[in-house]
Amino acid sequence: MLREMLEQYKRVGRWVRSAIYLRKSRAEEHMSLEEILSRHLSDLKEYAEKYGFLVDEADIYKEVVSGESLFSRPEMLRLMEAVSSGKYEAVLCMDMQRLGRGGMYDQGFILDTFKASETLIVTPERIYDLTKEMDEEAAEMQTFLSRSEYRMITKRLRRGTLHSVKNGAYMSNAPFGYRKVRVNKIPTLEIIPEEAECVRQIYQLYADGNGCTKIEQAINAMGFHGRRGSRFNRNTIRTILDNPVYIGKIRWDQTSTVKVGIGADRRKKVIYNPADKVRIIDGRHPAIIDQTLWDTVQARRKSRYFYVDNKHVASPLAGLVHCSKCGRLMNMQGKNKGVPYLLCPTKGCSAGAKFEFVEQSLLQQLEEIARQLEVEVARSAVPDVSNLETTRAKMQSHLVKLEDRRNRLYSLLEDGTYTRALFSERMQLLAQEEASLKNTLSALNDEIRLALSRNQEKQLARLHTVLGSYQSSSLAVRKDLLQSIISDIQYTKEKKTKPADFSLSIKLKDLI
């Protein structure tokens, strides 16, 4: 709606269909999320009641997830979808920066959505009609200033954090063996005696020649357990053995965060920095083990373990094979001994198998799948989704009827037939029915898309490429080849069975 229509609505007593968006800002970190959102909701409801903005309970969007990026805030994405569909004539928020002060892409997307749908942005200080050049410039200036302020605050926080770390402060969560304390207002660590004893046992057992699997069994047998009562596993043991915090050090800049993807697929990804960029700083906390024991353990680890990094692939099946019983990814172990096995990380679960046997079985099954696809492609026809499309058409028609019902509800409120209480009750029932229908429609759309996207000719061509190139390719290329056609492999093997007595259930990717 346009700004000049507000006065017209007031004269005829028509309420403005609106939503409220609530989000905590960085300046309010000293207050709880519930307290902030409750206070803002009360203020905005009072404003809406005073100036004729109608907001139903289903039209209140409470952002409880903190995130700089638009696509990391689910409530904001839901609001943008509603605004773009023309559901609201106005959106109320405490100030412009609540909508977003992320990057230029996010800001542009938000403002363009409001402008295209002619939806007003209403704050207690100002109403923004983005179809007006002056309001659009003011909104752009507000988001720009908010972004600049955010970047400055972030820079100061990072600088302050690094300064504290250089002075020996421990800023992360306390690792096993320690608890967080403050000494002269500086955060550091204090030893938990019973946990520290477990750490010392782990280091000593490893220095004595035991592997992580034996240490796991020994530590659990001694009665040690994690902070939440969980049993120790090999990965936990490795993490403890690799952490210099136990010799009184602080490891900083081990990881970096980068943004990858575009649009709704944009997300933050954590990457491990090269060893020369990782900082090892003297901490203020006491050490649990001595330097000699640490050096012994690290020397043995380097001589014993095969490390996997972004440039070195240990297994072409990495990330593909899951245990059918516990759902965890299968690990390849024993490569340094010359006989690699594929093992389930859950003790007592599926039995392991020689990696060579699993790889051979996988290739044989892919060849069999290729032969079946050749038969199906020879007699293939376009998938029949007519029944699904008929159901979808009926659902879409019903959605249109729901929108008509919504408009009638507003008319009944405006002419006094419905009270505000009765209107809210009916509107809430309508919103629930609409939400349920949209969820069902979304699932149906996915089902239709999946049926139509199963391009068997592409699957067959990709399989021929994989099978024809696999044996002559490097480990890294083999991994890429398998991941280009396979989405998941379920592995099953019972205890005390023959070496090759296992099964693989292969799911191909639905190529478009």
- Report residue 187's pLDDT band, with 50, 70 and 90 as the boundaries: very high
pLDDT over threshold 50, residue 309: no
How far, CA to CA in Å, does 452 sit from each of 76, 177, 186, 442, 449?
31, 54, 60, 15, 5
Average the pLDDT over 453-478 and give the result: 86
> Is 308's pLDDT higher than 60?
no
How far are the Cα atoms of 168, 232, 242, 248, 302 from residue 238, in angstroms, in the given order? Answer: 25, 10, 6, 18, 12
Give the integer Cα–Cα distance in Å for 282 and 436.
56
Please, what is the average pLDDT of the chain? 85
Residues 11, 12, 18: CA angle, nearest 5 degrees? 95
pLDDT the model gives residue 7 = 74
507 with 488: CB under 8 angstroms?
yes
Which residues is 507 bridged to in the sheet?
488
Bigger pLDDT: 233 vs 482: 482
E-strand ranges in 40-129 read 53-54, 60-63, 90-92, 120-122, 127-128
Higher pLDDT among residues 307 and 176, named by residue? 176
Residue 474 CB coordination number (10 Å):
10
The structure tokens listed for 427 are 């509107």
As a whole number of angstroms, the distance between CA 198 and CA 204 comes to: 10
Residues 388 and 448: their CA atoms lie apart, in Å, by 7
pTM of the model: 0.49
**What's residue 266's pLDDT?**
56
Q: 157-185: per-residue pLDDT in tens?
A: 888 888 888 999 998 889 999 999 999 88
Q: In the prediction, which pLDDT does 26 show?
A: 60
197 Cα distance to chain centroid: 36
List, for residues 86-123, the tens digit of each pLDDT value: 999 999 999 888 887 656 667 788 888 999 999 999 99
Angstrom distance (rounded) from CA 154 to CA 148: 10
Which tokens hold the place of 197? 């004893």
Query: At residue 463, what are phi and psi to the nearest 5 degrees?
Result: -60, -40
Residue with tokens 């609409």: 434
What's the pLDDT score for residue 311?
A: 45
Q: pLDDT category, 304, cuts 50, 70, 90? A: low
**pLDDT tens digit string along 225-268?**
888 777 888 888 989 999 999 999 999 888 887 766 555 455 66
